[in-house]
């Protein structure tokens, strides 16, 4: 395809998704039409968008102006390597989620199927429009449509009060973030720009003070959408409330649009980042990563566990961006390129893998009607396809080789290890501590995935009804397999992926990586560090084969199969298995200051003794609840102005007029 046709083609895919939304609205109760008609066509659109994004990585930037906005405010669109990468991410993850949704959605999801299909495809279209917007007006319109579409998807089961509350908190945080973004664009336009276009913002450099203010507002606005601690409180409630495919899109793709926005503002529109901008991002990102993984470790709801895991991964992404800004600000482009490549690879891997895990929980939820880890177990035998694909996702999100999560975290760790070369003694002393925090977070992430996978899929059934669980359908399997294959491809051929990412890294970081080949990675030099995933895989397989051969030769005929040792008990039962609470208890005790835990112990006079532990978020109770109470008091005081008498209102108007006249006369 001609590179000049890529941008019009992307806009045509957006129109296709909008048309699918209109078709769903026209047939709100036609479940079969929506599931087997609209969603597969939407998946084809996702594949087309992924192909367009891939093509944009190798093509020059293209721009298009459409006179369809407000008078004097046409819509500007731009497709370059940065937006192309995120379109590739959107299309690759969206294709798997859409195919899975074709077999997943049915009657009983709360919202009518056609209306749900409309909201879903408008959500896809809005995210793509955010990535293509080239002016503040188009960006904010697309951003708000994305927020509203995702809100209605979150509250699909709107008859449940808890879900309505989760949607309300999400909507409030989304609009507070939008206000910060409006102020950010206002500051950037104050630099002398002649319009709302991003080209005008690029053309006029701000003073360091105003540029720092714009960057801070961008961190708040995009951080609220991404779930950056302490702006994360909406995420653990919204993801469990939404249907699983929606949770997959929100966690896998929507959170990445916030990272796209921050990359666009900090490395493109402000185009001269100060080195110290990276320090608060490093601190917030590393703290958020550790905070998220600690809370994931103590969760007993499988979707809340994945939601806190997303907070952890977003924290790692913000820390990587902080490193990029530090390296770029001090004039070390090669290391900035390394950190940026690690960030992009991390985002791509997380988009595929977290979507896969949320879809797997959706299959479990549909067949068992259970979200609580305490009621699950032993599902690998009943749901082998879901279990094995979920294992790929769990290993990848835990950062184990030879999958994509390990490659991204390994490259990011290399970036941290090279920070002693920064010509700033204070930074040299503090930033390397981030490597230790990153390693701790990665280790705890593996611990969380052991808990997630082991409690759900291994062991014995904790409930008799689980014996009747069934595997996912054909379309659901296809979606899961697509996402799992993507995670494996990133891990086994990282050089292939990084060769494509060079076209994003070079313009933003000012340098490129050394790519030795598809299956060999030495980002800076062979003498510093190198990684060959196929060699790791072959070595692991060789050790397994060698161990089997040695066992057969040393102990011929002496190998027997028997039940595992049961400590002298008559037989193993589900009650002997470790529970989700048991997995999380060491973390809860070791990191007690992070949690606000309330324990309910059984009493001797209880007819049905129960033991319950509730772990609350300190930020919610210490910051958001007092803030909400303060806003409520201000609203009550403002309500005193409403006297219900026209004479009092006229007096207010007269007093306001006098005050304004006094200001003008001065």
DSSP-derived secondary structure for 40-93: HHHHHHHHHHHHHHHHHHTS--EEEEEEEEETTEEEEEEE-HHHHHHHHHHHHH
Condensed to tens digits (0 to 9), the pLDDT of residues 23-63 reads 988 887 888 888 888 999 999 999 999 999 999 999 888 99
Window from 14-23, 243-252, 387-396, 590-599 with minimum mean pLDDT: 590-599
Provide the pLDDT for residue 525: 63
> pTM of the entire structure?
0.91
- Which residues make beta-bridge pairs with 73? 70
Provide the pLDDT for residue 140: 93
Mean pLDDT of the chain: 85
Distance of CA 396 to the CA centre of its chain: 15
Kindly tell me if the per-residue pLDDT of 612 is higher than 70: no
Window from 48-57, 159-168, 276-285, 601-610 with minimum mean pLDDT: 601-610
Burial class (CB in 10 A: 0-12, 13-18, 19+), 207: exposed
Provide the pLDDT for residue 605: 66
Calculate mean pLDDT across residues 154-158.
86
Provide the pLDDT for residue 108: 52
Calculate mean pLDDT across residues 450-479.
87
For the chain, which residues make up each domain, given as ranges?
A: 342-554
Calculate mean pLDDT across residues 547-562.
74
Condensed to tens digits (0 to 9), the pLDDT of residues 99-143 reads 999 888 765 556 788 888 899 999 999 999 999 999 999 999 999
Provide the pLDDT for residue 649: 78
Provide the pLDDT for residue 96: 94
At residue 608 the predicted structure's pLDDT band, cuts being 50, 70 and 90, is: low
Window from 292-301, 409-418, 481-490 with minimum mean pLDDT: 409-418
Most confident residue range from 146-160, 415-429, 527-541, 604-618: 146-160
At residue 191 the predicted structure's pLDDT band, cuts being 50, 70 and 90, is: low
Condensed to tens digits (0 to 9), the pLDDT of residues 512-526 reads 777 766 666 766 666
Calculate mean pLDDT across residues 469-479.
89
Calculate mean pLDDT across residues 400-406.
85
Rounded to 5°, the CA angle 249-402-257 comes to 25
Burial class (CB in 10 A: 0-12, 13-18, 19+), 590: exposed
Provide the pLDDT for residue 593: 79
Residue 416 and residue 432 in contact, taking contact as beta carbons nearer than 8 Å:
yes
Provide the pLDDT for residue 270: 87
Condensed to tens digits (0 to 9), the pLDDT of residues 323-363 reads 999 988 888 888 889 899 999 999 999 999 999 999 999 99
Provide the pLDDT for residue 602: 66
Using DSSP, state whether 577 is helix, strand or coil.
coil
Largest CA distance in the chain: 104
At residue 599 the predicted structure's pLDDT band, cuts being 50, 70 and 90, is: low
Most confident residue range from 37-46, 70-79, 563-572: 37-46
Contacts of 657 (CB under 8 A, 6+ apart): none
Residue 219 and residue 286 in contact, taking contact as beta carbons nearer than 8 Å:
no
Provide the pLDDT for residue 517: 66
Calculate mean pLDDT across residues 164-192.
88
Using DSSP, state whether 456 is helix, strand or coil.
helix
Provide the pLDDT for residue 2: 61
Contacts of 633 (CB under 8 A, 6+ apart): none
């Amino acid at each position: 395809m001609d590179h000049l046709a890529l941008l019009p083609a992307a806009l045509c895919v957006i129109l296709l998704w909008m048309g699918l939304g209109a078709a769903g609205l026209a047939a709100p109760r036609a479940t079969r039409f929506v599931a087997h008609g609209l969603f597969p066509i939407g998946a084809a659109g996702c594949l087309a968008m992924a192909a367009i994004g891939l093509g944009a990585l190798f093509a020059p930037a293209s721009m298009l102006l459409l006179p369809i906005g407000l008078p004097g405010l046409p819509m500007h669109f731009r497709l370059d390597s940065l937006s192309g990468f995120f379109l590739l991410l959107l299309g690759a993850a969206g294709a798997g989620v859409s195919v899975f949704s074709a077999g997943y959605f049915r009657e009983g999801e709360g919202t009518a199927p056609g209306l749900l299909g409309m909201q879903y495809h408008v959500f896809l279209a809005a995210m793509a429009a955010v990535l293509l917007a080239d002016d503040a007006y188009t960006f904010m319109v697309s951003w708000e449509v994305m927020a509203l579409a995702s809100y209605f998807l979150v509250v699909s089961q709107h008859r449940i009060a808890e879900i309505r509350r989760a949607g309300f908190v999400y909507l409030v945080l989304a609009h507070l973030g939008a206000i910060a973004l409006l102020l950010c664009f206002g500051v950037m336009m104050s630099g002398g720009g002649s319009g709302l276009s991003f080209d005008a913002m690029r053309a006029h450099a701000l003073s360091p003070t105003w540029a720092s203010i714009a960057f801070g507002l961008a961190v708040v606005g995009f951080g609220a959408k991404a779930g950056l601690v302490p702006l994360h409180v909406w995420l653990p409630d919204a993801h469990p409330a939404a249907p699983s495919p929606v949770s997959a899109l929100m966690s896998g793709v929507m959170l990445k649009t916030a990272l796209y926005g921050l990359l666009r503002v900090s490395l493109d529109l402000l185009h001269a980042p100060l080195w110290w901008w990276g320090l608060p991002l490093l601190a917030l990102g590393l703290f958020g990563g550790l905070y998220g993984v600690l809370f994931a470790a103590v969760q007993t709801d499988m979707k809340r566990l994945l939601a806190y895991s997303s907070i952890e991964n977003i924290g790692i992404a913000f820390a990587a961006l902080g490193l990029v800004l530090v390296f770029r600000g001090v004039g070390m482009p090669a290391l900035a390129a390394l950190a940026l490549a690690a960030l992009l690879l991390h985002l791509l891997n997380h988009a595929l893998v977290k979507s896969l895990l949320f879809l797997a929980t959706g299959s479990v939820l549909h067949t068992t009607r259970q979200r609580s880890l305490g009621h699950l177990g032993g599902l690998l035998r009943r749901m082998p396809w879901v279990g094995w694909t979920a294992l790929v996702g769990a290993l990848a999100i835990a950062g184990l080789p030879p999958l994509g999560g390990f490659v991204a975290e390994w490259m990011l760790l290399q970036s941290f290890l090279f920070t002693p070369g920064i010509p700033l003694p204070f930074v040299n002393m503090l930033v390397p501590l981030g490597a230790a925090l990153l390693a701790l977070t990665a280790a705890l992430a593996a611990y969380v995935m052991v808990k997630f996978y082991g409690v759900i899929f291994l062991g014995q059934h904790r409930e008799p009804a689980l014996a009747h669980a069934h595997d996912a359908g054909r379309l659901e399997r296809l979606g899961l397999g697509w996402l799992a294959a993507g995670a494996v491809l990133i891990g086994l051929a990282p050089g292939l992926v990084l060769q494509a990412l060079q076209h994003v890294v070079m313009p933003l970081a000012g340098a490129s990586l050394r790519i030795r080949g598809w299956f060999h990675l030495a980002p800076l030099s062979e003498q510093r560090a190198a990684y060959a995933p196929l060699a790791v895989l072959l070595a692991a397989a060789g050790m397994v084969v060698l161990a089997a051969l040695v066992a057969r030769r040393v102990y011929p005929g002496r190998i027997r199969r028997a039940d595992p040792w049961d400590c002298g008990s008559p037989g193993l039962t589900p009650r002997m298995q470790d529970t989700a609470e048991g997995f999380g208890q060491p973390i809860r005790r070791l990191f007690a200051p992070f949690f606000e835990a309330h324990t309910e112990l059984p009493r001797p006079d209880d007819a049905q003794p129960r033991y319950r532990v509730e772990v609350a978020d300190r930020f919610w109770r210490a910051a958001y609840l007092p803030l909400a109470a303060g806003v409520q008091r201000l609203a009550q005081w403002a309500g005193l102005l409403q006297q219900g008498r026209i004479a009092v209102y006229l007096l207010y108007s007269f007093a306001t007029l006098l005050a304004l006249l006094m200001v003008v006369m001065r």
